[in-house]
Chains A and B, each alone.
Chain A
Amino acid sequence: MQTDYTSQRTINSPIYLNGIIIENEQRGDQYHHLKVSLSKSVGLVVPGQFAMLSIEGRKDILLPRPFSIHNFDNKENASRFDFLIKVVGDGSRLLAQSSVGSPLRVLAPLGIGFPAPPLGYKVLVVAGGIGIAPLFPLVLGLRRSHIDLHLFYGAKSQKDLICLHELLLLKGITISIATEDGTHGEQGLITKVLRDKVPFQAEKMVIYTCGPEPMMQAVANLAVEGMITCWASLERRMACGIGACLGCVVKTKKGYLCSCMNGPVFNSQDIIWQGDAKS
């Protein structure tokens, strides 16, 4: 990883390239950690950016699927991406079942990632379930820049806290955990823990969040209360990943915006949430 988290957001042109699954580690019933070696370097990647993945030669799945880049390793002539995949449908299942050596087609890096926190700001990271996928490289990047942070990590159950082991090894992070069934950390929603532990008054603070939309909406509401900037990474079904199909739009105060090009990371104040907040 080479991201200096004090640097500005940079957007590279995406590259369409070949990849090979070099590791596929199952984590619990629903999750897989894929490591994919790429045929060439894609240059700078910002945490929060994503890739479109399709399995070479598989005709039963038509469209590529978007996945957050969970970790990355850029070398001069090669690159490696990690993806954290939760099996939710046919596309994710097919990827999760792919064996080591399976060839992929990868379009990356895509979208706008998380912007760096302003100097001297407190950093809160709020992850829900598989939402840890894009936040994990953010946390690593922030730590590389020696920025302390408080991670709020919630999930349905202990088995859904998929990156916890790696995160507990990092220094400079305070971690608060909640599970809905109480198998780890506090019982209940992570947004309740967040509300209890953080005084949401206007102060120099920035929040990064990814997870179920009702959770992100609750986080966004707290951010509004405290007049705090909150960056939320949204997930949408998409076809192209590069702003051509207009299929992945998010309803915002600026109209429908593509989550692939204008996101997937949005300032939460711009989002017109479609459901109800859950906290």
Chain B
Amino acid sequence: MPASGTFGYGEEYSTLIDVNTLGAIVTKGISLSPQEGNPPPRLWETRGGMLNSIGLQNVGLEAFIQQKMPFLRRCKTPIIINFFGYSINEYTEMAKRLSTLEGLAALEANLSCPNIKEGGIHFGCAADTVSKITKLVVKSSKLPVIIKLSSQVSNLKDICLAAEDGGAEAITLINSIPAMAIDLERKRPRLGGITGGLSGPAIKPIALKAVFDAASVVRIPLIGVGGIVNYLDALEFLLVGASAIQVGTTNFRNPLAMTEIIGGLDSFLAERGIKNIREIVGSLEVLI
């Protein structure tokens, strides 16, 4: 499935790939009110990575329902709505209202965006806050709730346990990593938002470790994301314990990437005679 923010609201890519072949569509993050986003420039490519400072620009809940839901409702693949709030109340309000919409499979609560001043990563850094928000969101939602967390915390295992205890059905790891780039000549940051979130192949090892650590403590499924380019990367995430994977920055490089990864996994399973991909999940062998 696509990582939130790299696939628009699905429709953007619908002429390029058959979105129904995906495991799910995950939408761009939605908030209660429309967000203008951060000042440009918003993008900068680093070695093996992409730095972004979009700032969760989105049309807001009402416009999302009016303009974006009709297409999503027509899709046959499960629809996961990514959302965020600037306060705990906004998270619960969003969960309540989104879960009344027809045609959705799950909600993914973003507790880890590095690009907004309030909310976002701020809420995902402390186990007690994660626990509180998760419980409230789960209580407000009629749909399964996925919690999307950051790797940039000192107590990832505790935070994952807090999400699990709070009633999350799954955890997505990781979000882009707070980072920055400098224009030496002009002595300025490369991004209008000064700092941004790093994604792409550069962060894959960090994401793998986060999933590996989370898998050692929680029982709920993990969705691995961070720098996946091809099916081999996807397999690595499955090995360390992810039950599903999201593809982000790679969609920009190659709109067919997710289709190719699915095809690659199918061939791999067929060649090895593996009947169920779940056999691979968490099958990493660690010699002590």
Contacts and interface: CB of A to CB of B under 8 A. Distances in A.
Contacts of A16: 16, 254-256
Interface in A49-97: 54, 59-64, 90-91
Interface stretch (B49-57, B116-124, B150-158): B49-57
B201 A62 contact: yes
Interface string A220-247: 0000000000000000111110111111
B253 A256 contact: no
A107 B15 CA distance: 12
Contact of B13 (A15, A91, A244, A255): A244
Contact of B252 (A13, A59, A239, A256): A239
A185 interface: no
Interface stretch (B38-46, B96-104, B218-226): B38-46
Interface in A144-172: none
A63 B50 contact: yes
Contacts of B49: 62
Contacts of A240: 6, 12, 251-252, 255
A249 B16 contact: no
A61 B8 contact: no
Nearest to B39: A251
A245 B16 contact: no
B40 A245 contact: no
Nearest to A13: B15
Given A13-B15, A64-B253, A105-B254, A251 B40 contact: yes
Nearest to B252: A239
A243 B15 contact: no
A188 interface: no
Chain B binding surface, main DSSP class = loop
Interface in B123-179: none
A244 B37 contact: no
Contacts of A245: 5-6, 43, 52, 54, 252
Interface residues of B, number: 34
Contacts of A63: 43, 45, 50, 249, 252-253
Nearest to A249: B40
B9 to A, nearest CB: 8
Nearest to B10: A244
Contact of A239 (B47, B57, B249): B249
Contact of A236 (B16, B40, B54): B40
Chain A binding surface, main DSSP class = loop
Interface string A100-142: 0000010100000000000000000000000000000000000
B114 interface: no
Contact of B249 (A62, A105, A248): A62
A246 B50 contact: no
Contacts of B6: 240, 244-245
A247 B255 contact: no
Contact of B40 (A54, A59, A243, A256): A256
A271 interface: no
Contacts of A244: 6-8, 12-13, 28, 251-252
Interface in B31-74: 36-37, 39-45, 47-50, 52, 54, 57
B85 interface: no
A12 B41 CA distance: 28
Interface of B: 5-8, 12-13, 15-16, 28, 36-37, 39-45, 47-50, 52, 54, 57, 200-201, 249, 251-256
11 contacts: A16-B16, A64-B252, A90-B45, A237-B42, A239-B43, A239-B50, A239-B52, A245-B6, A250-B40, A256-B37, A256-B40
Given A64-B253, A238-B43, A251-B40, 12 more contacts: A60-B47, A63-B43, A63-B249, A105-B254, A236-B41, A237-B43, A243-B8, A244-B8, A244-B12, A244-B252, A247-B43, A256-B36
Interface of A: 13-16, 54, 59-64, 90-91, 105, 107, 236-240, 242-251, 255-256
